[in-house]
Amino acid sequence: MSTLTHECVQAVSAEMRFGIMDLYAAYSAALDEGRYKDWADCFTTHAEYRLTTKENHDRGLPIAIIYCDGKGMIDDRAFTTTETTISQPRALRHIVSGISVRADGDGYRVGADFLILQTMLDRMTEVVMSGRYIDRVVVDGDRLLFESRVCVTDTLLYPTSVVAPV
Partner 1 sequence: METEIKWATRAATTTGASDRAAAPDYVWPDGGCSRIPFWVYTDEAIYRREQERIFRGPNWAYVALECEIPNPGDFKRSFVGDLPIVVVRDTDGSVNAFSNSCAHRGVAFCQSEHGNTKSFTCPYHHWSYDLKGNVTGLPFRRGYKGKGGMPADFDLSQHRAQPLAVSVRNGAIFASFDSSVEPFEDYLGPRMLSYFDRVFDGRKLELLGYMRQRIDGNWKFMFENLKDPYHASLLHVFFVTFGLFRMDAESAIEMDETGRHGAMINRRGGKLDDVAAHEMRQTLRSDMQLKDTRVLDLIREYPGDVTAVMCTFWPNLIIQQQSNTLAMRHVVPRGPDSHDLHWTFFGYADDTPEMRAHRIRQANLMGPAGFVSVDDSEVMVMSQEGVTPYNDRAGVAEMAGRTVEDHDHTITEVAVRGLYQHYRKVMGL
Residues that bind partner 1 (CB under 8 A): 51-53, 55-56, 59, 61-70, 72-73, 75-77, 79-80, 83-88, 122, 156-163
Indicate the SS3 state at residue 47: strand
C-beta closer to partner 1: residue 66 or 96: 66
Taking the complex as a whole, how short is the minimal distance between the CB of residue 60 and partner 1, in angstroms? 9
Report the distance separating Cα 58 and Cα 53, nearest Å.
8
Cβ-based neighbours of 29, under 8 Å, separated by 6 or more: 35
Question: How distant, in Å, are the alpha carbons of 24, 52, 58, 81, 129 from that of 137?
Answer: 10, 19, 22, 24, 23
C-beta closer to partner 1: residue 61 or 95: 61
Taking the complex as a whole, how short is the minimal distance between the CB of residue 28 and partner 1, in angstroms? 18
Taking the complex as a whole, how short is the minimal distance between the CB of residue 69 and partner 1, in angstroms? 6
Taking the complex as a whole, how short is the minimal distance between the CB of residue 47 and partner 1, in angstroms? 12
C-beta closer to partner 1: residue 16 or 163: 163
C-beta closer to partner 1: residue 88 or 119: 88
DSSP tag of 157: S
Return the ∠ at Cα 23 (arms to 17 and 24), rounded to 5°. Answer: 90
